[in-house]
Structure 1
Amino acid sequence: MGVDGCSKCIKYALFTFNLFLWIAGTGVLAIGIWLRFDPKTKSLFEGDNSPYVFFTGVYILIAVGGLMMVVGFFGCCGAIQESPCMLGLFFSFLLVIFAVEVAAGIWGFSNQTKVTEDITNFYKETYNNYQENKQPALKETLRLIQHGLNCCGPSGNIRDEETCPEKKGALDILITKSCPDAIDEVFNSKLHIIGGVGIGIGVIMIFGMIFSMMLCCAIRKTREIV
């Protein structure tokens, strides 16, 4: 005899949530693996002068994607099979992730200046190294950064149109933003957006933990009655 009523709604809501979580984890893992083994960026992981910020971020993507898939798997199976054991594991994973997110948020806010400086230095080193040896991997990294931030060069001057976003008209060229300024803007003027996203994810995790415990209790009560 399975759960019914409100508990049944929670069961399928939890299953749907974790199905999307598993799919999202698959996507994050695929992006991380692609960045790690793509011929254009693979050489960034080789050599003594490899940019640690880049490959650390890639490995974090792979780890986060894998963890999301594991959590989604336990949540889906625990909900659809009404397994208290799997739901308990799902709750434990969410609790650990929530604690890590809070710790990372506190660390990020307290070390905001250092993080900004490290990323800016990474960009400048990548830019200077590309100007010297024109490696395809460095070119791809610059292109991703500059297109993502809509900036060009350390000073905002368009010197390499192959890696900079396309600008149309003399006015656009004159007001092109430098990448150090763009990085600083992301971590300062848009910090409230990053914080809001983090809080939203945290709230979703809390509801996930609450629903998993509610479903787990309902399953145990149903089995005790039987």
Structure 2
Amino acid sequence: MGCGEFLVKYILFFANLFFALAGIALIGLGVAVELQVSEVTEIFEDSQIFQLTPIGAIVVGCIVFIVAFFGCCGAIRESNCMLVTYAIFMIVLMILKITLATLIFVKQDELLNDIPRWLTEGFSRDPVAFQSIERSFKCCGPMGPASYLSLTLPESCCASTPCTVVNAYSGCNTIVQDFFQTFGLAIGVVAIIVVAIELIAVVFGLCLANHARNKSRRTHY
């Protein structure tokens, strides 16, 4: 094997190791957000984007990890079939991640602006059920303690008891908005970085596949 093929082989191997770690990162982000928002799914029932984005991140992360593992094996074994299959899957994944990142960046502002309305409606419907959101996000009422129109607040509004306006958390509107904005930005940035590196990996994978095919042909002569 020449120096060029050697470098391509191991660059591709370590690139896929990075993809595997990025896949784990996407899974972790998706799981963390899914656990965090499991208490507020009824509030966001009008938005499929909020409900499906964490699940989408988990699914894409799992696929990225599996394909990256496949790419590592193909690079080490220099298998033309595995490398071509890997390149095809990577292109499909690139399209999926570009779609996910675009959806997040395009729809994020619109969805963030709708959060106060959803939270206010949920609080008006059932203030007791709203306490699960307060415990999950460590916040108090949509607009803060004043939302309860009382000096005595539920324990979910504070870190310690007795719970009053003095030691209450801030309003849920801002805290929940900041949470989803941070999550969306993290997912979008990770997806874009991975796509950029995947493009290089696809080129390297196809080059290595071509080298493996030519090597196989030479062995038959």
CA offset digits 1:27-58 (Å, max 9, x no partner): 6547767887x8x987878xxx4854565344
Q: CA deviation at 1:194?
A: 7.0
Task: Note if 1:115 corresponds to 2:108.
Answer: no
Partner of 1:19: 17
Query: In the TM superposition, what is the alpha-carbon distance from 1:74 to its structure 2 partner?
Result: 1.5
Which residue of structure 1 lines up, in the alignment, with residue 163 of structure 2?
none
For residue 6 of structure 2, the aligned residue among 5, 8, 23 is: 8
SS in 1 for 2:70: helix
Aligned partners of 1:57 and 1:70: how far apart in 2?
A: 20
Corresponding residue number in structure 2 for 1:200: 193
Tell me if structure 2 keeps the 8 A contact 1:108–1:115.
Answer: no
| Matching of residue 180 in structure 1 with residue 168 in structure 2 | no
Distance 1:83 1:130, change over 3 A: farther
Seq. identity, % = 26
Cα distance in structure 1, aligned partners of 2:178 and 2:211: 48
Q: Does 1:75 align with 2:71?
A: yes
Deviation of the 1:215 alpha carbon = 1.4
- CA shift at 1:82, angstroms? 1.0
Alignment of 1:133-212 (within 5 A): 133=129, 139=132, 142-144=134-136, 146=137, 153-157=141-145, 162=156, 178-182=171-175, 197-212=190-205
Q: Is the 8 A contact 1:155 1:178 kept in 2?
A: yes
Count of aligned residue pairs for this structure pair = 205
CA separation of 1:6 and 1:165: change in aligned 2, threshold 3 A: farther
TM-score, normalised via structure 1 length: 0.63
- The normalised TM-score by structure 2 is 0.64
Gapped regions of structure 1 (runs ≥ 5): 167-171
Q: For the residues of structure 2 that align with 1:127 and 1:67, how far apart are their CA atoms?
A: 38
Report the CA distance between 1:22 and its aligned residue: 2.9
Alignment of 1:31-42 (within 5 A): none
Match of 1:102 in 2: 98
**Contact 1:152/1:165 (8 A) holds in 2:** no
CA RMSD of aligned residues (A): 4.4
1:169-198 residue CA offsets vs partner (Å, 9 max, x unmatched) = xxx979x75443355567889988876554
Q: Does the Cα contact within 8 Å between 1:126 and 1:142 map onto a contact in 2?
A: no
8 A Cα contact 2:135 2:157, kept in partner: yes
- Gap change, CA 1:83 and 1:102, over 3 Å in 2: same
2:209 is matched with 216
8 A contact 1:156–1:178 mirrored in 2: yes
